Chains A and B, each alone.
Chain A
Amino acid sequence: MAQPPAKALDDPPFDRALADLPPELRWREWMSRVEAVIFASPTPVPRAVLARVVGDDCPLDAVIADIRAELRPRPYDLVAVAGGWHHRTRPPLAPVLRAVHPAGPALPALGATDQLLLATIAYHQPLTRRDLERLLGRTVDADAVGRLRAAGLVGPGPRSPRPGAPLTFVTTDAFLDQFGLESLADLPDLDDLRAMGLADTGLLDGTPAGAPASLEPVDRAPLPSTSPAFLLMQPPRRPV
């Protein structure tokens, strides 16, 4: 009964329900099992996996709330990300970790041009490199998009229905994870950004946003020229 839970996972006579324990002990055992599984996992742990180590009658959300309450004085927290739970360092400590890992293992340093490119793809996807050039009013070389693809933030989308069937670019799930978005619907509204003064026009490329030069149907909304708010958010880091 008192065996370490992470190891006990493999043992066939593993007691999931813990029906014979008194309530407080049982709750304590649930908490340590859940936290042990999440701690040992390199990726976020979904609910179904946690349900395998605790019984069906375990209120997982309440158990996790209790664990988080215990973690309050610690520099890390248990957060729900990408369909599961994971240990993450608290956001105020991000500069500390960045000092240790200048580029960071996850997100490579993106220059202003790359950020603009990423924001354009995020808001106007799917779009081809030619669409990007029309929107930005300048040449976009394949290397620039290639850097974003190498970082895993941008992936290939469907072929554009135009002569030559050029490849379009779309953002990936890794992009959503990095910026803490749940879906593309959570991207900050462009009108709100403009109202906050975060999406000025014509700073980087000298062309006014939404200029009539582009007759493409992809030009649905004017384009932010500075980094929009989602690029200013700091992605949380794993404990090092």
Chain B
Amino acid sequence: MVRRREDFQEKATPAPPAGPAAPVLGTHLWLAGGPPAPRWGELPALIAALGARSDGLPDALAQALATAAALPCPLAAVSAALQAVLAVRPDRSALTVWAADTALARWLGWPFGLPLVSLGLPRGSVDLAALDGATLAAVVLRGSARALDHFALLGHRAAALQAVRPRLRARAAGRVVDRLLARDALSVAGVRDLIPERAARRLFDRLVALGAVRELTGRSTARLYGL
């Protein structure tokens, strides 16, 4: 049931804008979209989008990550994934961290991938090649703790949003709420395929007034809404 809703959202969402940040957003949405193992065939395209395109690297890296995820210990899987990318493309930090998260998500086999490594890395520049076993364990542990923090906070806000769902009268309100729950931030343009622009503005205003959704940017134009 949940899975089918996700499928629908994938198709209904308008094409993501291009630009340097688009592949990073796209790959992390892919990771959050479900278990990585059944969709492993899409991996070469994602690796290519993150900047490892030549020398047959997309296929080779997808293979290497699958091998890493088959290791008996999750930390060994993360480490092997990091090393596999660092060995061929030492300067692609976004690709390196995402590959580690993907290998870990496949090893864990959870229904949705969580970016435990990305969340656990300290802010600022990190020398990924210098991560040894103990540091890596600390990183994954800190990532898990942060994920739990986010879960507590966002779970609370999501429950608040679900609570106001019956009070919304706009026609596509249910699907807009679903998409708000699935994405970090939404603009009016991001729901254009579900609901007319004016109706979307009114709906978002009402959600903000009800306290279910926040305006995230503080801008008066090009506003973004999210939990």
A contacts, CB < 8 Å to B: 46-48, 60-61, 80-83, 125-126, 155-163, 165, 168, 170, 172, 182-186
Contact = CB atoms under 8 A, between A and B. Distances in A.
A83 B54 contact: yes
Interface stretch (B27-35, B44-52, B115-123, B162-170): B44-52
B51 A156 contact: no
Contact of A82 (B17, B19, B53): B53
Contacts of B91: 185
B150 interface: no
Contacts of A170: 18-20
Interface string B187-227: 00100000000000000000000000000010101100000
25 contacts: A47-B56, A80-B54, A80-B56, A82-B53, A83-B53, A83-B56, A125-B19, A155-B18, A157-B19, A158-B18, A159-B17, A159-B222, A160-B222, A161-B217, A161-B219, A162-B221, A168-B19, A170-B18, A182-B51, A182-B53, A183-B51, A183-B92, A184-B51, A185-B92, A186-B51
B132 interface: no
Interface of B: 17-20, 44, 48, 50-56, 58-59, 91-92, 189, 217, 219, 221-222
B54 A82 contact: yes
A31 B53 CA distance: 23
A125 B44 CA distance: 25
What are the 6 tightest A-B residue pairs by CB atom distance, in nearest-first order?
A183-B51, A161-B222, A158-B17, A157-B19, A170-B19, A47-B56
Contacts of A163: 221
Contacts of B48: 83
A200 to B, nearest CB: 26
Contacts of A157: 17-19
B165 to A, nearest CB: 28
B222 A156 contact: no
Q: By DSSP majority rule, is chain A's interface helix, strand, loop, or mixed?
A: mixed
A172 B221 CA distance: 28
A185 to B, nearest CB: 6
Contacts of B20: 125-126, 170, 184
B37 to A, nearest CB: 19
B213 to A, nearest CB: 18
Given A126-B19, A170-B20, A183 B219 contact: no
Nearest to A64: B56
A127 to B, nearest CB: 10
Contact of A159 (B18, B56, B92, B189): B189
A161 B189 CA distance: 12
Contacts of A168: 19
B19 A185 contact: no
B23 to A, nearest CB: 9
A183 B23 CA distance: 11
A60 B19 CA distance: 33
A190 to B, nearest CB: 15
A184 B19 CA distance: 10
A58 B48 CA distance: 23
Given A156-B18, A158-B17, A165 B222 contact: yes
A163 B17 CA distance: 19
A170 B18 CA distance: 7
A51 B121 CA distance: 38
A155 B22 CA distance: 13
Contacts of B219: 161
A185 B48 CA distance: 13
B51 A185 contact: yes
Nearest to B47: A83
Nearest to B189: A159
A83 B49 CA distance: 10
Contacts of B189: 159
B59 A47 contact: yes
B88 to A, nearest CB: 11
Nearest to A81: B54
Contacts of B53: 82-83, 182-183
